[in-house]
Amino acid sequence: MRRTHTCGELSAAHAAETVTLCGWVQNRRDHGGVIFIDLRDRYGLTQIVFDPDEAEGVVEFGHRVRGEWVLQVTGLVEPRPEGMVNPKMPTGEIEVRVRAFEVLSRAETPPFTVDDYGEAAGEELRLKYRYLDLRRPSLQRSLVVRHRALQASRRRLTAEGFVEVETPMLAKSTPEGARDYLVPSRVHPGQFYALPQSPQLFKQILMVSGLDRYFQLCRCFRDEDLRADRQPEFTQIDLEMSFAEPDDVFALCERLMQEIFAEAAGRELAVPFPRLTHAQAMARYGIDKPDIRFGMELRDVGELVRESEFRVFTRALEAGEVVKAMRGPGLAEYSRKQMDDLAALAATQGAQGLAYIKVEGEGKFSGPLVKFFSPSVLEALAREVEAAAGDTILFGAGPLEVVNASLAFLRNRLGRDLGLYDPDRMAFVWITDFPLFEWDAQERRWTSSHHPFTMPHPDDVPLLDELGQGRDVQVRSSSYDLVLNGVELASGSVRIHDRAIQHKVFEALALDEQEIQARFGFFLEALRYGAPPHAGIAVGFDRLVAMLLGCESIRDVIAFPKTQKAQCPLTGAPSAVADRQLRELGISVRGGGAPAS
């Protein structure tokens, strides 16, 4: 007999019904000759009872059953005895008294407890036995939420007139940024495909094709060093729209976020999201992905301290560097050791130290720096960073990049450690007008901040000619990021649709004509035939789901993730392959593992 109900749906309304359940044994309890078992499937738990008064042999069977065995049981639904109701379980009002049973599958003792409450096993072990790990309710909920978010994305974008198009997984290598995963071609010896880092050029070509509105829930691949929020293969919500300005992308993406959060998490989002330019974000937060759930904004106090006698500050300003400060709420109570610990944190970002002034009360200050400043300057500094009694003014002095990085790092750490924000709040912000280029000191050339197909800011297009003439000018881009709680969630831009501008950008990146044609000739050719203005964005889907669920790692929302070493403990990938396969591909291997037989 097939199951009639899941293990998560029975209630008092089913009392006196005969039902059949199938599932895994979560745990077993022996209560004086009566065996109680919690039977689990992905929908929940149901308590089943093996009572000798119900059927012959059930208790003997119950004694044999072990954890993770797969059972099918048929029995009568009854209300639990008075005082035994479990209000924490959806099925806590009832139990099923077993009358017939069958073992569908036996299981060896698992290498770790399959639940969300026991001692957590190491990640390497859990990934090796991922099929057991995925039985845990928390991971199953993650995959269900992921599914709902995917479906909500498809519904919203379809309703907005977008067409889902699959782009190639075997593409041309056009490296610009992260390393490609290369795939050798058997039929073209010595030549390689690349797995896509994104469908960037294909989706732009779809705009040239007149498709107008494209989206794809696509897999992308980047051969880069991994962190908690990175995987070698990942999923993104990729979209592109013709005849669109940034405001069109913002409004669409906000509606998309509203639908995803409502469907997957039952949460409402207020729109429109606030916006900051890149310059504003760096000035106020020291970082281009600010967490705006709390204050502690950075302030440039160079003019206030320029005439002071504190040489660390004055030397920095004389060298063309900066002095910035921010409020440390409640830090006046910190000990010298605690302040030294903060200085050590700042040092991890390149800072040479951490200067500070404690605000003891109105007009009262303490700390080693106080003697270098007049009372009026101390008061002005406190006003500038909005510091009150009990706070501490924290300073960074030196190169702008180092000061921003160190104070931003401290700000985020203190915001978390001091509980300055609601961890359940979702604070979105758009960051716009990023620099178009970044200087690579090692290669001594400009590189793309976003990618080389990003349109310059309309006011800065003429600066491309000056850049091409060797002048050091700052060119803004028409790019934008969507940041959530200090995490970059999505990135996009207006694309270049003018062939001449695209060529100038390639030249600014120090690509010669031969290299341009070899890598991007097919795309430049497409721009000859009436390319419309277009813009788009890509949302990091794994990261989005992790933030929806409050997970620290995206590995907790991916069914079969890789480790931080880009390995799969479950399957053993990557692995050596047979000599025969290598010969067919015309490949010889130097070093590494021995080929498989």
pTM of the full structure: 0.92
Question: Going by C-beta distance under 8 Å and a sequence separation of 6 or more, which residues neighbour residue 301?
Answer: 323, 324, 325, 381, 384, 385, 395
Largest CA distance in the chain: 94
Peptide bond into 399 cis (omega under 30): no
User: What does DSSP assign to residue 373?
Assistant: S
Amino acid at residue number 244 = A
At position 430, the amino acid (one-letter code) is W
- Do the beta carbons of residue 492 and residue 480 sit within 8 Å? yes
Q: What is the 3-state secondary structure (H, E, C) of 428-485?
A: EEEEECCECEEEECCCCEEEECCCCCECECHHHCCHHHHHHCCCCCCCEECEEEEEEC
- Non-local (6+) Cβ contacts of 84 within 8 A are none
φ, ψ of residue 489 to 5 degrees: the values are -100, -35
CB atoms < 10 A from the CB of 83, how many? 5
What's the one-letter identity of residue 378? Answer: L
SS3 assignment, position 268: coil
Compute the C-alpha angle 352/353/358, nearest 5°: 160
pLDDT less than 70: residues of the chain: 1, 118-119, 175-177, 226, 228-229, 468, 470, 592-597
CA 468, 470, 474, 479 torsion: positive or negative?
positive
Question: What's residue 397's pLDDT?
Answer: 97
Whether residue 241 contacts residue 249, with contact meaning beta carbons closer than 8 Å, is answered with yes
The 3-state DSSP class for residue 314 equals helix
pLDDT digits (tens, 9 = 90+) for 211-254: 999 999 999 999 987 676 689 999 999 999 999 999 999 999 99
Q: Half-sphere exposure of 38 toward its Cβ, with a 13 Å CA cutoff?
A: 15
Among 201, 16, 38, smallest CA distance to 114 is for: 38
The pLDDT of residue 593 is: 57
Going by C-beta distance under 8 Å and a sequence separation of 6 or more, which residues neighbour residue 108?
none
Q: Give me the domains of the chain, ranges plus CATH numbers.
A: 12-105 (2.40.50.140), 294-420 (3.30.1360.30), 434-477+498-531 (no CATH), 569-597 (no CATH)
Q: What would the DSSP string read from start to end of 175-204?
A: -SSSBPEEEE-SSSTT-EEEE-S--HHHHH
- Pair 348, 410: CB distance under 8 Å: no
CB 236 within 8 A of CB 198: yes
Q: Is 330 left (phi over 0), alpha (psi -120 to 50) or beta?
A: left
**Helix axes of 400-417 and 278-285: crossing angle, nearest 10 degrees:** 70
pLDDT at residue 224, as a whole number: 83
* Cis peptide bond N-terminal to 368, omega within 30: no
pLDDT value, residue 348? 96
pLDDT tens track for 164-206: 999 999 999 876 667 899 999 999 999 999 999 999 999 999 9
pLDDT reported for residue 205: 97
Query: Residue 119: what pLDDT?
Result: 62
DSSP string for residues in 130-161:
HHHHTTSHHHHHHHHHHHHHHHHHHHHHHHTT
Separation of alpha carbons 309 and 249, rounded Å = 51
Identify the pLDDT of residue 443. Answer: 78
The per-residue pLDDT for 192 is 95
Task: Quickly list H helices, 209-352.
Answer: 246-265, 278-285, 302-305, 311-318, 336-347
C-beta neighbour count of 196 within 10 angstroms? 24
Distance CA(171)–CA(196), nearest Å, equals 6
Tokens of 179: 């390393």
Under the phi-then-psi rule, with left for phi > 0, alpha for psi from -120 to 50, and beta for the rest, what region is 33? left
Per-residue DSSP letters for 474-518? --BBSEEEEEETTEEEEEEEEBP--HHHHHHHHHHTT--HHHHHH
- Residue showing tokens 């409640």: 330
- Token representation of residue 505: 């950008």
Read off the DSSP letter of residue 352: S
